[in-house]
Amino acid sequence: MHKWLLLIFITLCAHALHCQEPTTEQDSSKVKNDSIKNTQFLKQLGNGYFPTKFLNLDLRYLIKFNQYEGLRTGLGGVTNDAFSERYRINSYLVYGFKDHRFKYKIGGGFRINEATDTWINLSYTDDLQETGSSSFLTDKRFFQFFEPRLLNIDLFHKHITKAINIEHQLLHELTTETEFAVSKIDPTYNYSFVTDGKQYRTFDISTAKVSLQWNPFSNYEIIDSKVIEEKIGYPKFTLQLTQSFKNVLNGDFNFFKADFRTTYRINYNENVFTETVLSSGIATGRTPLTHLYHAYPNNITKETILQRFSVAGVNSFETMYFNEFFSDRFTTLQIKHFIKPFKISERYRPQLVLISRFALGDMNDIERHENIEFGTLNKGYSEAGLELNKLLFGFGLSFAYRYGGYHLPSLADNIAAKFTFNVSL
């Protein structure tokens, strides 16, 4: 119940912000300046930040909920250009009320080249990470802050990570980020990784990553010496390569990972479009479960459809149960078709979205992963569904059905019904 109250509170706040209109003045130049300021303010909110004079507060850390920490709350932020155009501080502190533990990050950076927006960043992080999750270093620049499936995650590993990375705008269309990090990993669940005759309950990992975000069909302009994506074009491409080193700064394993994602959108008009997301990844070498792949499941393991009723994710498999599948190589394809909104009134326009999702994966040497049971996706996973979005304060409804190679014997176990949440700033 607490998590629903929190979610409704966040929604009402976001909706209130969305509905505010800027005060108009007679002077046309002031109106224009106010409009630009309001647009920038709303864009910052859409990226997850509340701007203040010297510090942009990171809204992602204010309130969250998951199955391991329960309520997670705290404060974070990054200094802005008013503080310094050359140096920045980027840190947070949060507390989990269920695991009774503080988590934090202490970080900062300095810019070495303004023309290419090149930054060198240092950080020390003591936090949790979802096992099997795969994120791109460049994602923090492009994705919104709210991800509803976080409410249901229960499989985490603790990590203490020291990292140095370099952000670099190679071209207007090509953003790169390189990172070297050392991490101490401690799963919060009963798990052991067996390799070379040794059983690892906790382990150290030293990694080097290179991430590239390429948006060749977007239009860019330079505003206040900063490159701004003025018009979004498709397709977009993201690639990340990761190498883990054994015996480098106490690293326990050698493994290599390659992750790829492309997003494509066909626009028929302003409100009617089809969006396709293709994701894939492969891990070779001695890779523990913490650094392998799930397929972004979002279904709670409970008996009835109503007991599993929760919040649908953005690009997650709504009928796939948490911790049901893991892979060392996988591909997912998600297709969404947005139908013209129903014009009930000028402000009330629900929208129907038709969805198809597919996943294929497999794993070598499953026996290395002890004390945990899971399946693979070698038969191909399929689900289809629909969403009816923006019914009330950004909330809607979602329905999905699981079919194909992993169809379950009980009909109800193949069905997922959930809330959706969509607010555009």
46 exposure class (CB count in 10 Å sphere: 0-12, 13-18, 19+): middle
Q: What are the pLDDT digits (tens) for 115-164?
A: 899 999 999 999 999 999 988 999 875 545 556 788 888 899 999 999 99
pLDDT at position 25 is 52
Indicate the pTM of the whole model: 0.86
Plot region of 224 (φ>0 → left; ψ -120 to 50 → alpha; else → beta): left
pLDDT at position 2 is 46
pLDDT at position 44 is 65
Tokens 């140096």 appear where?
87
pLDDT at position 29 is 53
Q: What are the pLDDT digits (tens) for 51-104?
A: 888 999 988 888 888 999 999 999 999 999 999 999 999 999 999 999 999 999
What domain range is 256 assigned to? 2-421
Measured in Å, how far apart are the chain's first and last C-alpha atoms?
27
- Asked if the model's pLDDT at residue 338 lies above 60, the reply is yes
Give me the amino acid identity at 261: R
**Mean pLDDT for all residues in the chain:** 88
Domain count, the chain: 1
The arithmetic mean of pLDDT across residues 228-240, rounded, is: 91
Q: What are the pLDDT digits (tens) for 344-364?
A: 998 899 999 999 999 999 999
**Rounded to whole angstroms, what are the CA distances from 116 to 111, 142, 222, 330, 378?**
10, 18, 12, 34, 43
Q: Which helix (H) or strand (E) holds 16?
A: helix 2-19
The arithmetic mean of pLDDT across residues 316-325, rounded, is: 96
- Asked if the model's pLDDT at residue 11 lies above 50, the reply is no
Tokens 């899971």 appear where?
374
pLDDT at position 16 is 40
Sheet harboring 198-200: ordered strands across?
198-200, 192-195, 369-370
- Asked if the model's pLDDT at residue 8 lies above 50, the reply is no
Pairing of strands 70-79, 55-58: antiparallel
Q: What are the pLDDT digits (tens) for 191-216?
A: 999 998 899 999 999 999 999 999 99
As a whole-number percent, the residues of the chain with pLDDT over 90 amount to: 67
The confidence band for 15, taking pLDDT boundaries of 50, 70 and 90, is very low
pLDDT at position 39 is 58
pLDDT at position 5 is 42
Ranking 23-32, 41-50, 299-308, 332-341 by mean pLDDT, the lowest is: 23-32
CATH number of the domain encompassing residue 260: 2.40.160.50
Closest among 294, 303, 277, 317 to 398, alpha carbons compared: 317
- Asked if the model's pLDDT at residue 391 lies above 50, the reply is yes
Interhelix angle 28-46/2-19, nearest 10 degrees: 160
The arithmetic mean of pLDDT across residues 283-301, rounded, is: 95
The arithmetic mean of pLDDT across residues 405-422, rounded, is: 93
Q: What is the DSSP string of 383-417?
A: EEEEEEEEEETTEEEEEEEEEETT--SSGGGGEEE
pLDDT at position 19 is 42
417 exposure class (CB count in 10 Å sphere: 0-12, 13-18, 19+): middle
pLDDT at position 223 is 75
